[in-house]
Amino acid sequence: MFTGLVSDVGEVKRVDARAKLNHLRIACSYPAETITPGASIACGGACLTVVARGESGNRRWFEVDVAAETLARTTARHWAPGTRLNLERALRLGDELGGHIVTGHVDGVAEIVAITDFDAMPHIEIRAPADLARFIAEKGSVALDGTSLTVNRVEANIFSVLLIPHTLRVTTWGERRLGDEINLEVDLMARYAARLADRNRL
Domains of the chain: 8-89 (2.40.30.20), 108-201 (2.40.30.20)
Q: Which of 29, 150, 194, 197 is catalytic?
A: 150
43 catalytic per annotation: no
CA angle (114, 101, 43) in 5-degree steps = 65
CA angle (138, 144, 148) in 5-degree steps = 70
105 catalytic per annotation: yes
Q: How far is CA 153 from CA 59, 134, 136, in A?
A: 40, 13, 10
Q: Which of 2, 62, 135, 159 is catalytic?
A: 2
Q: What is the pLDDT of residue 202?
A: 55
Q: How far apart are CA 86 and CA 127, in angstroms?
A: 21
194 catalytic per annotation: no
Q: Which of 40, 74, 167, 171 is catalytic?
A: 40
Residue 183 · residue 144 · CB < 8 Å: yes
Q: Which of 49, 90, 123, 190 is catalytic?
A: 49
Q: Which of 28, 43, 47, 76 is catalytic?
A: 47
Q: How far apart are CA 115 and CA 51, in angstroms?
A: 37
100 catalytic per annotation: no
150 catalytic per annotation: yes
67 catalytic per annotation: yes
pLDDT < 70: residue spans in the chain: 93-99, 190-202
Q: How far apart are CA 32 and CA 68, in angstroms?
A: 27
Buried b (16+ CB within 10 A) or exposed e, 48-62: bebeebeeeeeebbb
Residue 110 · residue 15 · CB < 8 Å: no
The Cβ-side half-sphere exposure at 122, using a 13 Å CA radius, reads 19
Q: Which of 23, 32, 103, 105 is catalytic?
A: 105
Q: Which of 67, 90, 133, 137 is catalytic?
A: 67
Q: How far apart are CA 129 and CA 175, in angstroms?
A: 22
